[in-house]
Amino acid sequence: MAMQKPSPVVGTPVRDLVECDDFWTLFPCVLEHLTCTQWTDGSPRITSTMTLFHEEGLWKACLNDRASDRTGWIASDTVQGLVEQLEQALAGDRLDWRRRVGGKGGARKSS
């Protein structure tokens, strides 16, 4: 599992030591997205956030990659299935990323 900055970077990311239960150790890519605070080149990284909710009979999650200004969505019948699918998608670089609404590349609301 190597979280790489969108520009070419070589090495392994630095992750803060985060206390987690056995559940999260089964999902190292998801854990890395949520906890990695530095890129492999040592520059600071903004951690991702994950929103989890139940809608229309499905569990849904949005992984908000704040560092890269994009979001990825997953849905499943169970919470564990949802996190398993997210882990597999991240590990295989197959998550369908979308530009984050209101992000750097999108339109911003004026105040």
pTM score: 0.72
Contacts of 62 (CB under 8 A, 6+ apart): 50, 51, 71, 72, 73
Residues 81-93: what's their mean pLDDT?
94
The per-residue pLDDT for range 3-54, each reduced to its tens digit, is 666 554 444 455 555 566 777 788 989 988 998 898 888 899 999 999 999 9
Q: State yes or no: pLDDT of 97 exceeds 60.
A: yes
Following DSSP, what letter does each residue of 60-102 receive, concatenated?
EEEEEETTTTEEEEEEESSHHHHHHHHHHHHHTT---EEEPTT
Residue 104 confidence (pLDDT): 61
> Quick check: 106 and 82 in contact, CB under 8 A?
no
> Quick check: 14 and 25 in contact, CB under 8 A?
no
